[in-house]
Structures are given as structure tokens and as C-alpha cells.
Structure 1
Amino acid sequence: MDFQLKRSQQLAEHVIVVSYDSFSEENWEMAKSLPNLEKLLQSGTYSTKLRSVYPTLTYTVHTTIVTGVYPDKHGIFHNNPLQPFIPEKDQKWFGIREAIKAPTIYDAVKKNKMTAAGLLWPVSGKSSIKFNMPEVHATGGENLALKVLKNGSAFFCLGLELRYGRYRKRVEQPYLDDFTTLCAVDTIKRKIPNLLLLHLIELDDAKHKYGTDSKEVKDAIVRMDKRLGDIQRAVEEAGIQENTVILVVGDHGQLDVRYKVCLNNLLQEQGLIFEEKGKMQWRAYLQSAGGGAYLHIKEGDEEAEALAFAVLENALKEEQYGIEKIFYRNELDALHVDPSITAMVEAKRGYCFDDRLEVPTLLDLDAIKMKYATHGYLPDKENYRCNFIASGPGIKKNHPLGPLEMVDIAPTLGAILGVDFTHGDGRVLGEIFG
């Protein structure tokens, strides 16, 4: 169905986007039976087949959600810019709107004289969002609170911190998502934005730490349902229920991992990673994306490229390295992977990749009794697609949908708000309206 709403055909004055991080189809049966999500389903339309982008990393996906284009166009190819040899905990993250190479839906909302709010939305620092508490990461001794103020809306953030900061324990869960939900309720009632972008993270954290089928994951899903109820009540108390659409969107799934594979050790054995004058250097380097890894080659070093390809092709033949497939540039074009990437490796189920050099090439997590899950894999892995719910005025009720694409969300948000945002790779999901 070819569907486009012009500005004068606005469906609703307000849209709340709840990014339910790591909410995938494997969680559907449990989540849909809980009261607040069930309420949204009864009054809305839904799919368990929302296809993410590759690699399925949080910042890459969230940038697609707000731009409606794939990573090869928006430029956020990973959570972190390339930083060889720097430990993951010390790496800088993409955080500033300026890093995004495409228009965003919140920019379009502002141009149409409407207001946007953002709460822990990735890559939104120093953006046009009027009421903004961006997700930022403090590294190298930075003060997190000051970094939030510097990159967000200072007075807005200060007010939220003064009212609700006592409920937060740094970034520990469930306190962080409880705090963010309190901030969302406050923002809905005090600011009544036309667009609210909200990122809730507990489910993702629980899967990473405890595995995908753990008690902690089930507990997180129950708590998340309460948060959805709090948001729905805030909409009612703000008196905007008849003019608000709520979207709940998963960004990726997760898969349980037994083996971490440190493929950079193989590149080092071939002299492509080496020490010179007391510093580590590289001609070829694999940047882990969890279930995938990017191969970076120093510009113009054709010899390094050929050697690196040979290393990976030999590793592909060895079961222990857990490589399912190597994607070369022509295949990466079809997957919309950033053009700077030379090649990419995809992990088999049960495996993931790790950048480190100071550890053995193969780490058996079962041997150290460690539970772990991660993402970054191809979006079409079994039971790995995401869930999507849209509920509110003008939305079909209790209506199941088929497969959707992550790039379709931004133009659909535009259609609901009466903003033309159809320039990108996605389409307006006209089938949800009725």
C-alpha cells in the first residue's frame, strides 16, 4: 500500500517511541501475556518479524531508527569508532549528532515547529532535540554527569536529576531504567513533546550477563511491563491519550555464547599486527562487533589485504575459530555495510569475536562457568528478529503484521506526525493505519 500523509493530514499530535533494547521474537510469548503490553496489543498492531540492520549493534540500529537509512548512508557503523589496542571499557563511543551523515526525524520535527524529547537515546548528543538527556559514556576520568549536561539540555537534565536522581545507582539495573522511566513520565506530563524517543536497556544488560533464557531475563521483562504501564498512565494523566501513538520497538536479538574467538591473534602471527618502538601497530585489524567482526586494512596496503584474506580463509576451514562466513566488499554492499570496511566475518551460533590480543585465541566460557550472550550477528538468524508494536488513534486494533524493516520506522513516524520524511531507504507502513 502506497501511503503518505502530508503535514495537514497529521494522524496524531504525539508519538512516544519506546526502544526496548534486545526485545526479540524469543521474548514474545512471555511479554505479550503481561497486562500492559497486552493492552497495547489489543488497541494496536504488531509484528515479531522486524528485521534489524547489519551488524545488529545498538548504536547502529538506533541511528537507522531515526534516519530511515542503512548504516552505509548514516555512517554509524559500530557503537565505537575504530580504536585498535584500546580496551573496550576505555573506548570512546559514538555520541554526537554531528557523526550522523543523514537527516533525522527529530530534525524534521523541529523544522515543522514541533518539539522533540530524548531520554538516553544513542548518538543524540548536541542535537536539535529540545528536551534532551542523551546517552553518553564517560571514559578516561570524565565526569558522567557533566558530560550529560554538556551534550544535552542542561536545565532539563538538571531538573530531572534533582527530582529523580536518588532512584538511580550510576548505571546499575534495574535502577537505571526505573530512573529513565520516571524521567519519561515527568517529560510526558510537563513538556508534552510531539516526539519522545526513549531507550530502556535492562533486558539487553540481563541477556549479556546471564544468558537469553535466565531468570534475570524473565524478571527484566516483568519490570519492563510495569514501565510500559507507567508510560501509558502518564499519557492518560497528561490528557493526550486520544492524540498519542505509542511505538514499542526492539532493536536486535541476542544469542548465547560458549566460545569467544580472538582472531587478531592470527593476524599478529602473520606480522600484520606488530610492536614497533614500544607501540603496537597494525596493517590489518579486526574490530569485533560481537557476532561479526570488521576487517580494517591500512589504506593502500594491498599486500596486507591479501595476507589478511588468506588468514581468514584458512581460519574458515577450522571449526574452532567459529567463522560461519566471510563477506567481501560486493556482498557488504548488498548488506548496506559502511563502505570503509574491507571484509567482514560472521560467527557461527555459539561463537562471538573479541578484539583482544593478550588472551588465548579461543576462550571456552563453559570452562570458567561464565554465562554470556551477545548480538551483532546477521539480522536473519533464527529466532533473532525484533518485535514491533504500534498503538493509538488511527492504528488498526489487534492486528498482526508480517515482516518489517528497521528503515521503515522513521518515515512512519513522519507520517503519523504529518511530516514528510520519505527521502530514505524505508517506506511508510501504511498497512498499520485503519
Structure 2
Amino acid sequence: MSKGKAKHLVVISYDAFSEDNWEKASRLPNLSRLIKSGAFSTKLKSVYPTLTYVVHTTMVTGVYPDKHGIYHNTPLQPFIDEEEQAWFWFKKDIKVPAVYDALRKHKMKSAGILWPVTGYASIRYNLPEIKTIGRENQSLKILKNGSPFFCIALEKKYGKLRKGIEQPYLDDFTAMCGKDTIRSKKPEFLMMHFIELDDAKHHYGTDSPEIDKVLNRVDERIGKVIEAVREAGIFEETVFLVLGDHGQKNVRYKVKLNQLLKKEGLIYEEKGKMLWRAYIQSTGGSAYLHLKENDEEAKQRVLQILLKAAEEKSLGIERIYTGEELEHFHAFPVSGYMLEAKTGYCFDDSLTGPLVTDLEKENRKYATHGYSPEKPEYQCCFVVSGNCIKKEYQLGEIQMVDIAPTIAEILGVEFGPCDGRVLDEIFRMNTKVSIQKKAETDMR
């Protein structure tokens, strides 16, 4: 028998599920059942910057970005359109072990459905989140970096549900793949990534009627996963963990700070090619300042430009963070400088179009993330439920780095060192993997 609290753990990443969604989402049938039979928090604090790939890497490693090395969704690729950029798709880019590496050592089965930064990872059944750029073939790219036979089988059964990355089709595909994996593989550890809420907030804003429709659809998908666990006969031995990775903030103004650097000659064209001595890589709600190595003059010039820009209210710079402040956030030290946007503003890498775009004047709704995790009303939601978990137990503030060590504790594997801690307070006393009919009744 496993020395863990449960034999199986299903982790559902509910992308962009934040405290402003709690009131409505927590009343929906499936999530409310998990809450009643488990522990929860609306104060899960994310990491800086609050970008999906940065946060998901912290979830599975238990360390901050300054240690795991995934500092953005994408490596720096100046002057390349966002749609054509490569992302941090591959496990090799993570500088520390992940919790699924520990499971492999214990010969336990892990599975991943569209989990970020898992290309060619040590996950037994792996359908990684990877997209094509240029003329690449999507199916071949996934097969090459995932588990080929597993991916082929899921594609044959459920590929017709998907329409590229369009929603709600993509998350419907993920839900069906998750259901199938639970029933056919019964992995000890399953990670799933639902993206529709994040997409909807980006496109419609955080307070659109569309958000309520998405919350309902995601709740139905959670219900399908729970149903699959019942059908697999492992319900009483399973813990469910549902969590958000970041919030989002509505945006009125997009600011393109690289245009200031171009105006001052720090971004320039030479022989038909764009070059840079300093470059601002946006995360949406914040931005990294990149500097060419050993170019002290460029560093001094760009800091003068940015300090002056921070005095202009219309450019939306809330703070310029430097070394010690970034250490407080445990942010990855790209150059030792980051910019934080004011609420209502976001940054954009582009060199074309106006310096500041007023989206309201263009009658466009938009929201984004990437801001400091200390922004008000910006924390994430967390729900964990199962036989070993206290019922209707409310946690205070917890940290994203606490997720991996808690996963390891639930499954009974040694993992660490971590920056986070095991959330010991969620567990019932003297719980073991045992059949308790009461918990099944609680969830009905």
C-alpha cells in the first residue's frame, strides 16, 4: 500500500480562475461538491510575472522562477510576430526536477493533457501543449515530443472535437482525453489544463456575460472528470485538486515602450535588419528590460529614458523594479530590471502603430495578466477534495510554490528541496488510502 494520503491525484489547472470568479463558480454543481467535501482558498498567491508557463512550472517544481528558469511564456525573440514565436514548450528548459520526475523514480504512472512546458518530459502518458509555427505539422510535432501511441489513440478518438485552438472545442477535447485516460490508464497522477476562461477574459474582458457561460462549461468538464473517476472504480482513492494560475485585469491602454528606445537609437535598422542594444519584452502587465552584454552606455541611456517615461502618466508605468525588489519576488534576473504596469494599462512589444492605444475609443474589450502577484483582487482560487482532506475547510493565503510539495505528500513520494511547504493543515488526522463510503456520499 502507498504511504501517501491517496493512490490517485487529478490536478485540473483552471487557467485564469481568480478570486473575482469565486462567487459564481463556487455555486455551480460540480465545483460546489468538491468544496463541500474539501479545503479551499481564494487567496492562492501566484509568482512574478503572472504568465501561464511561468506559473505552471512553479506548480510542478515548488520553486520560484529565479530557480526554475522559465521566466516568460516565450524566450526572447525580438521583431518576430507573437504568432510566429517559439514558446518554452520543452521540459529540458526547466532547470530543476518536477514532481512527475519523482513519480517516475517510484515507478508511478503520471499523465498530462496539454500541460505547459512538458515537451519530451518524463510523463508516462503525455499529450503536451505544443503548437506549430510556420509550416510545421501539428500532429507530428506533438507525437515527437509526447507519448506517440497515447497521442495517436486520443487523436483518433477525439481529434474531430477540436478546431485548432478555438474554444470551447479545445477544452472539450481536453476533457474527453482526460476522461479516457482516467478510465483506460488509471494514472496515479493526472495533470489537465483548461484554457477557455483565460481566452474569454482576453477577448471579452473580466466582467463580460460571456464569462458566466464559460464558468458553466468548465464546471461541466470538471463533472465529466469526476464521473470518469467513478467509472474507473477509483473514486474513494482519488484526490481532486482544481486551481487557477493567475487573475486578469481589464485594460484600456496598450503602451509600446520599444518605440521610445527606437526613437533614441537603441533599437535600429542596419543593412535592412533590425538590431537592438536594449529591448523591452512585454509580459502584458509587466515587462523585462533586456540589455546587450557589457553595453554600459546603453544601460545608462535606457534607464534615463524609462525614468523619464515613468513620470508621464499616459505611459502607465507604475514601478521600475531593480535587483533587490526582484529578489523579493524571486523573479528571474534577466537584466535586473522589470517594469510594472498600472491597472488599466498593459505593455506591448510592437514598433508599429501609436505609442499609446486607447482601446475604449476603438470600442474594444480586452484583459490581460503578467502583473505583480501583489496587485489587489488578483489572487487565484484553490480547491482540494478527497477522503483524506478536511471538509469545508477554508485556508488563508497560500503560495503557488506550496502546490508541488503538497502533491508529493498526497502521493507519498519524496520531493524537494522546494521554496514552498506541504499544506499539512488540509489533511484529516490519521488518514490513509482506505475505502470510506462516507466521502462518496458527501460528493453526491
Distance 1:425 1:24 in 2: 22
Q: Which position in structure 2 is the counterpart of 1:81?
A: 75
Correspondences of 1:269-418 after superposition (within 5 Å):
269-418=263-412
Instruction: Write out per-residue CA displacement over residues 190-239 of structure 1, whole angstroms, 9 at most, x where no aligned residue.
Output: 00000001000000000000000112111100001101110111111111
Output the amino acid matched with 2:375: K
Residue 310 of structure 1: CA displacement? Answer: 0.6
> Given residue 205 of structure 2, which amino acid in structure 1 is its aligned partner?
G
Task: Give the aligned partner of residue 4 of structure 1.
Answer: none
Q: CA contact under 8 A between 1:44 and 1:395: conserved in structure 2?
A: yes
Contact 2:289 2:334 (8 Å CA) reproduced: no
- Please give the per-residue CA displacement for 1:254-302, whole angstroms capped at 9, x wherever unaligned: 0000000000011111111111111111000000000000000000111
Within the candidate set 153, 164, 173, 1:159 is matched to: 153
- The CA distance in 2 between the partners of 1:331 and 1:384, in whole Å, is 20
Cα distance in 1 between the residues matched to 2:320 and 2:302: 12
Distance 1:179 1:9 in 2: 34
- Cα contact 1:422–1:428 (8 A) shared by 2: no
Which residue pairs with 1:59 in the alignment? 53
Q: Unaligned 5+ residue runs, structure 1?
A: 1-6
Structure 2 residue 246 is the aligned partner of structure 1 residue 243:
no
Deviation at 1:424, TM superposition (A): 1.2
Q: 1:134 aligns with which of 101, 124, 128?
A: 128
Q: Secondary structure of 1:367's match? A: coil
The answer on whether the counterparts of 1:206 and 1:216 sit within 8 Å (CA) in structure 2 is: yes
Deviations 1:129-169 (A, max 9, x none): 01000000211221111111111011101100111111111
State yes or no: 1:199 paired with 2:201: no
Q: Report the CA distance between 1:8 and its aligned residue.
A: 5.5
Deviation of 1:341 after TM superposition, in Å, equals: 2.8
State the 1:12 CA deviation: 0.5
Q: How does 1:87-106 map to 2 (within 5 A)?
A: 87-106=81-100
Q: Secondary structure at the match of 1:390?
A: strand
Given the alignment, which residue of 389, 395, 413 partners 1:419? 413
User: 1:19 aligns to what?
Assistant: 13
Residues 8 and 16 (structure 1), Cα distance of their counterparts in 2 relative to 1, 3 Å cut:
closer
Assess if the C-alpha contact under 8 Å between 1:273 and 1:285 holds in 2: yes
Q: How far apart are 1:375 and its partner, in Å?
A: 0.1
| Distance (Å, rounded) in 1 between the aligned partners of 2:376 and 2:161 | 38
Q: What per-residue deviation string (whole Å, max 9, x for no partner) do you get for residues 340-394 of structure 1?
A: 2330100001000000001211011111111100000001211110000000021
Determine the C-alpha separation between the residues in 1 that align with 2:34 and 2:324. 42
Instruction: Specify the alignment match of 1:257 in structure 2.
Output: 251
Q: Tell me the secondary structure at the aligned position of residue 25 of structure 2.
A: helix
1:11 to partner: Cα distance: 0.6
Matches of 2:274 and 2:4 in 1, distance apart?
A: 56
Q: Does 1:108 align with 2:102?
A: yes
Query: Which residue identity lines up with residue 188 of structure 2 in the other structure?
Result: N
TM-score, normalising length: structure 1: 0.98
Q: Is the contact made by 2:3 and 2:412 (CA closer than 8 Å) also made in structure 1?
A: yes
Contact 1:297 1:342 in 2 (8 A): no
Counterpart residue identity of residue 302, structure 1: E
State the shift of 1:9 in Å.
Answer: 2.7
Say if 1:261 and 1:352, in contact at 8 Å, map to a contact too.
yes
What's the % identity of the aligned pairs?
Answer: 59
